[in-house]
Structure 1
Amino acid sequence: METKRHYGMDWLRIGAFGLLIFYHIGMYFVPWGWHVKTPHPLEWVQIPMMATNSWRLPLLFLVSGYASAALSAKLGAPGPFIRSRSARLLFPLAFGVLVVIPVQPWVELVTQHGYAGGFLHFFRHDYFRFGTLAGIVLPTWQHLWFIVYLFAYTLLAVVLLLLMSEAARARIADGAARLLEGWGILIVPLAVWMAILFAFPAYPETHALVDDGPNHLHYLVPFFTGWLLRVRPVLFLAVARCWRTAAVVAIASYAYVSWAIWAAPGEGPPPAGVVTWFMAIRLVQGWAAIIALVGIADRFWNHDHASRPMLAEAVFPFYIIHQTAIVLVGYWLLLAGMGPLFSFAILVAATIAACWVFYLGGRRVNWLRPLIGLQRVTGAQLSVSLSGIGRGEANWRS
């Protein structure tokens, strides 16, 4: 089924990954555990971090579900679809685990666990131990867990495509669209999230794929909602009906979440098996924010711009390199004893510069392009791409 390109979803994807970069910069300053930390964490940083904490990752899975459905429709069969997704996801994953990621656990081991070896020693003797060191599993995919999960959900989608006839898929899509029409797009997925929360209260998030069942259920909801938005675009009418209300609900929920953190700083987790108001309202904030953002993208951002193709193409390389840049620069700032204000400014500038260097440098070398999430192209196509005139037709696929 051919559907007109939705530029608003392109911009939403670009914005979501951009926010992810700033969120991970914030992880250097917030009291929560992370790979490298400022020696004096700032309690108040939790408040702005919680503005996106509940929806940033589900939103990425939603736009990825939409993108996956668009690519599936374009290629027309499960075979070409899975081959395309494998090339676009597995090559960058392997490159990331082997080349981009290793400095992250090394910095964490040095700064938080007293590891005395240099990076080359760590890489040669410890990174490929296929075990744990100071509780860190090595080798590791770190922030690239998103690619692993996205590929797993892609495989699940392909299995469903293969098991069902086209008529059966249409009936299921029609039934799901009827369930989500009107206010259902806001209520039904949130109800599923709540059911998961009460069925698996206080479940940990491991990012280890095989032991993360409740979180897979949590992320599959937005992934297949995004897929359904693509195959049944009439659902954008449902989003248009309720996105303003969803925005108000998201803001009110965030106000409660912020107040709860401010009123009880440093409060530990609840007893195992207990569901708190904080957990439930955080889910309300998350899904309401997603619907509000999809509505805003549909209403105000559904138009093209000359910068969109390059930004859409750059998103995946930015994602691959950004956390390693943050961790490495954060390590240098830690050694220099830099204060929080200058540290933040340096982290933002250095991370953005590293992302652009990684993308602009890698896109010029054809054999490197698949490793940083870009398609290989012919010599003529490469020249067009480097001139900035490319259509970016395949950029949405990553």
Structure 2
Amino acid sequence: MGSYRYSELDWLRVVLIFAVFLHHVFMPFNGDGWHVMNKESSKVLDDIMVYFEQLRLQTLFFIAGAGSFILLNKVSGKTFLTSKFHRLFVPLIVGMVLIVPPQIYFEEIDNYSGILDAYSKLALSFNANHLWFIEFLIVFMLLAVPLNKLLKTQFANLAAHKLARLAEKPSGLFSLVLIVIIVRLTLKYVMPSQSHSIENLSVSIFFLFFFLAGMFFINNASVWLALEKHRATNLKWFVLSSVIFYAYYFKPDISEYVSLSMRWQLWWLVCTLVSWSGLLTLVGYASVLCKESPKWLHSANEIIYPFYILHQSIIVVFAFYIVQWDAGIAVKSISLLLSSLLVCITTIYLLIKPFNVTRYMFGLKIR
């Protein structure tokens, strides 16, 4: 693998985490019962957001898997886990103690006499909230070490050879969606909850599949090149999957003919089609279009992690006041976007980046 830099991973990581930020900016206005909600909501906004929910985190876990494999081939397993302790576990604790409590305070403001009262009651409750993504990553990184050793076994080499043969076919990698569908629908039948808890296997194993795919795909150069080579075919599958998704989403009422359990199974099926075909398409086109890493991308890639940790609490605080304005959704949402973005970036550049203590607390490398 050498010292090659997969620039497409940097691009996708920054773009997708910013997409997560945009998603949370618009959550108060889609009628979905978030931390802070506007009185009026937009059905169109909700119809759009539910689609993109099938793409962002799945691809981010894929990127995390690929990045883990790259790092594990440069350092020992012990060094890898030590690094992840400092860059994942420590920021998770900091986030749960310092960053998450304001969200709960503004969501349940009548239950507290003030923000200090909320901190005194919530700081040590260790509520991960939106930082569940980091919890998942910690568990997946622990699994990555033995999995990386497994990838070097004779059995894994045989499996990699078969995967490479499959990837030669234009729709070969997309056909793996059948495995994802079987796994997800089976787990959802047993554990239908959408709770973002690591114990909820219908969610955690689904995301683990994407993490493992990142490790397996980047382990095989021919498979990674196939993502680029067959990107147009995967785009066609992605478009078809999107049409099927919205055809089911806007379907007439079929409750009289199809049980609730079966309707949920069909929903998870169409969601999985979009997730897998979207992943293949995003990585394939990013491999072609994102060959270079400009200087700004290096800076963005550095701050994107503390940006993720901070963003939701800052959005919730501003949203609490903005939704009370006598204005339309467009004015409120744009105001929330600009104000929360400005505060996130300012906080990172003035309070986090310049100091080693805060750099360590938020997962940045010590200078």
Considering the TM-score relative to the shorter chain, is it more than 0.5? yes
Cα displacement string for residues 45-88 of structure 1 (whole angstroms, at most 9, x for unaligned residues): 1222133111111001011111111111121x111111111111
> CA–CA distance in 1 between the matches of 2:148 and 2:245?
40
Maintained 8 Å contact 1:317/1:373: yes
Partner residue in 1 for 2:57: 57
Maintained 8 Å contact 1:173/1:228: no
Please point out which of 119, 125, 139 is paired with 1:123. Answer: 119
Letter in 2 for 1:316: Y
Partner residue in 2 for 1:330: 319
> CA–CA distance in 2 between the matches of 1:169 and 1:155?
22
Letter in 2 for 1:219: F
> CA–CA distance in 2 between the matches of 1:168 and 1:82?
25
Letter in 1 for 2:232: R
Please point out which of 149, 169, 172 is paired with 2:136. Answer: 149
SS, match of residue 36 in structure 1: coil
> CA–CA distance in 2 between the matches of 1:197 and 1:165?
24
Please point out which of 201, 210, 214 is paired with 2:202. Answer: 214
Map 1:296-311; keep pairs closer than 5 Å.
296-311=285-300
Maintained 8 Å contact 2:62/2:214: yes
SS, match of residue 374 in structure 1: coil
Letter in 1 for 2:308: Y
Change (3 A) 1:168 1:86: farther
Letter in 2 for 1:25: V
Q: Structure 1 residue 237: deviation in Å?
A: 2.4
Gaps in structure 1 of 5+ consecutive residues: 129-137, 378-398
Change (3 A) 1:125 1:87: closer
Query: Is residue 369 from structure 1 mapped to residue 362 from structure 2 by the alignment?
Result: no
Q: Structure 1 residue 177: deviation in Å?
A: 3.5
> CA–CA distance in 1 between the matches of 2:360 and 2:155?
32
Partner residue in 2 for 1:193: 180
Q: Structure 1 residue 367: deviation in Å?
A: 1.1
SS, match of residue 222 in structure 1: helix
Partner residue in 2 for 1:171: 157
Maintained 8 Å contact 2:69/2:148: no
> CA–CA distance in 2 between the matches of 1:139 and 1:312?
27
Letter in 2 for 1:122: A
Letter in 2 for 1:223: F
Please point out which of 189, 211, 214 is paired with 1:226. Answer: 214
> CA–CA distance in 2 between the matches of 1:2 and 1:176?
24
Q: Structure 1 residue 275: deviation in Å?
A: 4.3
Partner residue in 1 for 2:90: 91
Q: Structure 1 residue 310: deviation in Å?
A: 0.3
Maintained 8 Å contact 1:201/1:272: no
Gaps in structure 2 of 5+ consecutive residues: none
RMSD, aligned CA: 2.4
Q: Structure 1 residue 288: deviation in Å?
A: 0.6
Partner residue in 2 for 1:35: 35
Partner residue in 1 for 2:345: 356
Letter in 2 for 1:255: V
TM-score, structure 2 as length reference: 0.90
Query: What is the aligned residue count?
Result: 359
Maintained 8 Å contact 2:91/2:361: yes
Map 1:307-318; keep pairs closer than 5 Å.
307-318=296-307
> CA–CA distance in 2 between the matches of 1:3 and 1:180?
27
Question: Which deviates more from structure 2 when the two are superposed, residues 28-37 or residues 193-202?
Answer: 193-202
Maintained 8 Å contact 2:72/2:145: no
Partner residue in 2 for 1:395: none
Letter in 1 for 2:133: F
Partner residue in 1 for 2:6: 6
Q: Structure 1 residue 263: deviation in Å?
A: 5.3
Partner residue in 2 for 1:68: 68
Cα displacement string for residues 357-394 of structure 1 (whole angstroms, at most 9, x for unaligned residues): 122121101111011120111xxxxxxxxxxxxxxxxx
Change (3 A) 1:355 1:233: farther
Maintained 8 Å contact 1:318/1:358: no
Paired-residue identity, % = 22
Maintained 8 Å contact 2:36/2:107: yes
Q: Structure 1 residue 316: deviation in Å?
A: 0.5
Letter in 2 for 1:18: F
Letter in 1 for 2:115: F
Question: Which deviates more from structure 2 when the two are superposed, residues 57-66 or residues 274-283?
Answer: 274-283
Maintained 8 Å contact 1:50/1:254: no
